[in-house]
Structure 1
Amino acid sequence: MEDRNTNVNAKITHHIAVYAFPFGSHGSPLLNIIRRLAALAPRNKVHFSFFSTPNSINTLFPKGSKFDVDCPNIKAYEVWDGKPVGYVSKGNPLEEIDLFLKAVARPGALKKVLEEAEENVGVKVSCVMGDAFLSYLLCDLALEVKVPWVSCWIPGEHSFCVHVYTDAIRQRFGTQGIEEGREEENLDFLPGLNKIRVKDIPDGIVTGNIDSPISQLLHKMSQVLPYASAICLSSCEELDPIVTNDLKSKLSNVFAVGPLSLVVAPSKVADTYNCLGWLDQQRPNSVVYVSFGSVATPTPNELFALAEALQASGLKFLWSMKDHLKVHFPNGFLESNKENGMIVPWAPQVDVLAHGAVGVFITHFGYHSIIESIAAEVPMIGRPFLGDHKLNGRLVEAVWKIGLKVEGGVFTKNKVVKSLDRILWCDEGKKMKETIKNLNNVVRKAIAPDGSSNKNFKLLLELVMKT
């Protein structure tokens, strides 16, 4: 049998295969990790083959191209998304995830595209990297082709930690439903999670459907991670050294290389709807920015209540939301708020949050949105929806103390107005501003040229190139 690491091409010495989980906000951060590694590596010696679905590739790479603009040593290859011919989306992302997972789990599916890249590059793959959501598949692939495997966790280290400890949490609380009152218990038996409650952890561990495809995928991840050659975290060590050090004691070569949205400068995006021009006309710290990412959407009743709250507050607001959702606004809301508010289908979030006019961010508590808010020093009001949102919200409110989770976890007019008052007009809000500024300074030190994140990137590249 031919050695997988035979150098067929005299120039390229290392060929890294990278597999993305092509849903939500997973693809872009993983590509940013690879871009950073590709920029640090000798371009004529290290090549990265990036595998994802056609739709994901079209989003991440220049239209019509499968090469990265800034890093020519990255090339994209298509993986089948599992959708049959004539498939029509029903708007259910879980269905599309299930189709994809079944497609990539077919015997030989991942190896086939790997071999296609090997033939194209002319060099055998020397290392497999990929989204931790695909760990159980990538572990098997790496074993089959006899190369090291690096698992990349895209959200925060706290959510990673609770998934790593899934079996321990299940042993403590069971999987048949939480006994009354126990949902308030803290995870104080896990290092660094003493303020996280059972009700804060993602569904699929001890609550919700533990047999769902995502739950099973993440449980399998927790079981195979000890076999990974390295773990790459998209956070930085300084955000919670207790959690990071505990992970280092349990797993091999844990490298915290983030926050990625700050380590890798985002591509400049066009301000299509002149959001920044509108913000230029507003007073400092006076605008409420509202956005729930690309997946989460409040219920019609909550959209109605949030609109009522913004109008009742009298505050200026910039709201990023799809046009078809406007039908859920109160009658006359759009007409009566032409001067007070701006509603756009999309906003350049990083630039918006960094604008001095923005005083508070109403969000879904997505991890990357939280990091962008910390970087801009803007306190948050959050309504968690799915995945790690509840856990992230608990961190924001009870651990870092840089924002509030809306009372009861759903938007009502009075609760939103109350939260806005607490942040914008009370001493509590002033303290949050000071705290988030200090937290931003911690993060900025981590991503400085001599900071821990850049050091870890170099260590990660060294490990990848040792193969």
Structure 2
Amino acid sequence: MADATVKNNRTPHILAIPYPAQGHISPLLQFSKRLQKKGAKVSLVTTKFIARTSHSISSSFPLLTISDGHDDGGIDSAESIQSYLDSLRRFGSESLREVLQQLSSSASPVNCVIYDGFLSWVLNVANEFEIGKAVFFTQSCAVADIYYHVYKGLVELPLPDKEIEIPGLPPLKPPEFPSFIYQLGTYPAYYDVIVNQYANIHKADWIFWNTFYELEREVLECLKRIWPAIRTVGPSIPSAFLDGRIEDDRDYGLSFFNPNGDASLKWLDGRRKGSVVFVSFGSLGAVSVKQMEETANCLKNCKCQFLWVVRTSEAAKLPRDFMAETKERGLVVSWCRQLEVLAHEAIGCFVTHCGWNSTLEAICLGVPMVAVPGWTDQTTNAKFITDVWKVGVKAPADSGGVVGREALLQGIEEVMGEEKGGEIRENAVVWKASALKAFEAGGSFDGVVDEFLAKISSRF
């Protein structure tokens, strides 16, 4: 391992600054654990609201806070998404500057910041202190390739009604693009953040991606010609589910939800191997009443047992008497330890919204998927799950964007069955092995991190 100390034997100090959302905090926090294991000191920077309201914040890292201008209520207390993002940029910049100033005269000044790509303004603050700058991306390289070409004006908008070719990607139909591009004008504030995050990416010293080389080889080679500083450091999931090199590392270390998920695991312990359909549509996006109804009716008519995560805020959308009618075959919970569930031998397939974290978790654990994408990058992830990696099938939506009970049932039966399901399961096993290979001792991850720590120790 490279020597992770500076010339005066001071341990390099890194600030990890994720965008304040569960799906962004978890992978950067996990990468931070890997850096810490290699000898670096890492401090986690999050908003005052997140720090105050989250459960199970890891004690492994010093926790530093900045303001988003909504310290008492977070994004839900803002007038709009746009006003929140503007406030986060303004107040976040000011309070991060104060944090860096205080640390600059301490016994442990900062050598480098690793910041979420959504927070491109962090780079400008870091420049004032002449410290290292590393950007961390929590979406796939394929999605980034699309957004970059949109940013450069190389993709016609609105999208033409035909297959579109982008270097490094398979031909994509318009509905296979991220929703912010295909459904142009939806969530304009997020569109602006996501597309314009590439405006200053070339000024970063390192560009880290939560993916692994074999998974996105073609697109990575294309992006490296644009940004030579790209390095893959994923999949960023707890070590216990990959290589086991970090002791007792079974969860990410921070959750917005009460981390009591034992009921799911106890229920699974009594089920046959590969017999359970696990259904979860993520921690953020809302599920329509119609989609809840169609999913419920699918599971009601499905011969398989099921475990369905329905957030408390969504529970009222469940059909009346559904849980009573299905209690012999299924369990509905408001939250579960998703990694533990996916790793359980009883799970036969994963009905997923195709968020990038969930996609990587399923790949790392070799679980076949039924893709039910909703918004943002999920539609593109679904394309790769089904047509590129071939580890799942997509349940098609109707003209209103709802996946009907018959379409969902057909997808589950295909994945759980022998003919197509057997091939999908074989592919899932191959990709699981490929993910693990990146973290084998002396593998690609070690090389990237050793190089990174050596450079920030000597240069900054």
Task: Mark yes or no: TM-score above 0.5.
Answer: yes
Match of 2:36 in 1: 38
Q: Does 1:54 align with 2:52?
A: no
Q: In structure 2, the residue corresponding to 1:22 is in which secondary structure? A: coil
What is the DSSP-based 3-state SS (H/G/I as helix, E as strand, rest coil) of the residue aligned with 1:133?
A: coil
Q: 1:150-170: CA deviations, max 9, x gaps?
A: 1111222222222232234x3
Aligned pair partner of 2:164 in 168, 186, 198: 186
1:36-56 deviation digits (Å, cap 9, x = unpaired): 112202xxxx53333211233
SS at match of 2:63: strand
Give me the identity figure in percent: 23
Q: For 2:183 and 2:458, locate their aligned partners in 1 and report how far apart those are by CA, in whole Å.
A: 42
Q: Say if 2:405 is the partner of 1:419.
A: no
Give the drift of 1:31.
1.7
Going from structure 1 to structure 2, the CA distance change for 1:209 and 1:410 (only over 3 Å counts) comes to: same
State the partner residue of 1:142. Answer: 126
Cα distance change, pair 195–172 in 1 and its aligned pair in 2 (3 A) = closer
1:3 aligned partner: none
Deviation string 1:102-133 (CA, Å, 9 cap, x unpaired) is 233356443122213334x3344332221111
Q: Work out which of the residue numbers 157, 161, 166 in structure 1 matches 2:145.
A: 161
Aligned mate of 1:266, from 250, 258, 262: 250
- Structure 2: which amino acid aligns with 1:384? P
Q: CA deviation at 1:91?
A: 8.2
Q: Does the 8 Å contact 1:362/1:382 carry over to 2?
A: yes
2:172 aligned partner: 196
Q: Distance in 1 between matches of 2:373 and 2:77?
A: 20
How many angstroms does 1:15 deviate by?
3.2
In structure 1, the residue corresponding to 2:197 is in which secondary structure? helix
Task: Identify the match of residue 101 of structure 2 among 90, 99, 115.
Answer: 115
Distance 1:97 1:123, change over 3 A: farther
Which secondary structure state, in structure 2, belongs to the residue aligned with residue 289 of structure 1? strand
Residue 290 (structure 1) shift = 0.8
The higher relative CO (CA closer than 8 Å, separation ≥ 6) is in 2
The one of 173, 196, 215 equivalent to 2:156 is: 173
The residue correspondences of 1:235-250 to structure 2 (distance < 5 A) are: 235-250=211-226
Return the letter of the residue paired with 1:22.
P
With over 3 angstroms needed to count, the CA separation of the structure-2 counterparts of 1:413 and 1:164, relative to structure 1, is: same
Partner of 1:4: none
* Runs of at least 5 residues in structure 1 that lack an aligned partner in the other structure: 1-6
**Are 2:289 and 1:300 aligned?**
yes
Q: Is 1:458 matched with 2:450? A: yes
Match of 1:132 among 105, 117, 123: 117
CA separation of 1:345 and 1:167: change in aligned 2, threshold 3 A:
closer
Is 1:339 aligned to residue 328 of structure 2? yes
Give the match for residue 27 of structure 1.
Answer: 25
- Letter of the 1:31 partner, please give it: L
Tell me the CA shift for residue 289 of structure 1: 0.6
382, 385, 407: which one aligns with 1:393:
382
Q: Could you tell me which residue of structure 2 aligns to residue 76 of structure 1?
A: 63
Q: CA 1:315/1:123 → structure 2, altered by over 3 Å: closer, same or farther?
A: closer
Q: TM-score, length-normalised on structure 2?
A: 0.86
1:448 to 432, 440, 447: 440
In the TM superposition, residue 451 of structure 1 has moved relative to its aligned partner by 1.9
What secondary structure is seen at the aligned counterpart in 1 of 2:349?
A: strand
116 and 198 in structure 1: CA distance in 2 versus 1, 3 angstrom threshold: farther
Which of 195, 205, 214 lines up with 1:219 in the alignment?
Answer: 195
CA 1:414–1:203: 2 relative to 1, 3 Å: closer
Q: CA deviation at 1:390?
A: 0.7
Amino acid at match of 2:164: N
- Alignment CA distance shift 1:246-1:349 (3 Å): same
User: In 2, distance between residues paired with 1:228 and 1:368?
Assistant: 24
Matched residue of 1:317: which SS? Answer: strand
The residue type equivalent to 1:213 in the other structure is A
Amino acid at match of 2:221: N
Structure 1 counterpart of 2:70, one-letter code = K
Q: 1:458 corresponds to which letter in structure 2?
A: D
Matched with 1:314 is 303
The CA deviation string for residues 177-221 of structure 1, in whole angstroms up to 9 with x for no partner, is 233x23xx132x412x02433332223446422882222222322
Q: CA RMSD in A?
A: 2.8
Q: Give the match's secondary structure for 2:154.
A: helix
SS in structure 1 opposite 2:200? Answer: helix
Contact map agreement 1:202 1:387 (CA 8 A) in 2: yes
Bigger drift between 253-262 and 155-164 goes to 155-164
Q: Mean Cα displacement is larger for which, 147-156 or 428-437?
A: 147-156
Q: CA deviation at 1:296?
A: 2.0
- Could you say if the C-alpha distance between residues 159 and 310 of structure 1 is closer, same or farther in structure 2, counting changes exceeding 3 Å? same
**Whole-Å Cα distance in 1 between the matches of residues 137 and 64 of structure 2?**
21
Say if 1:118 and 1:449 are closer, same or farther in 2 by CA, change over 3 A: same
Evaluate the alpha carbon distance shift between residue 430 and residue 206 of structure 1 in structure 2; reply closer, same or farther with a 3 A threshold: closer
Question: CA separation in 1, counterparts of 2:115 and 2:32?
Answer: 10
Kindly provide the amino acid, as one letter, of the partner of residue 422 in structure 1. E
Which of 124, 130, 135 matches 1:151?
A: 135
Paired residues, number: 437
Contact between 2:141 and 2:220, CA under 8 Å: does it hold in 1? yes
Q: Which moved more, 1:376-385 or 1:455-464?
A: 455-464
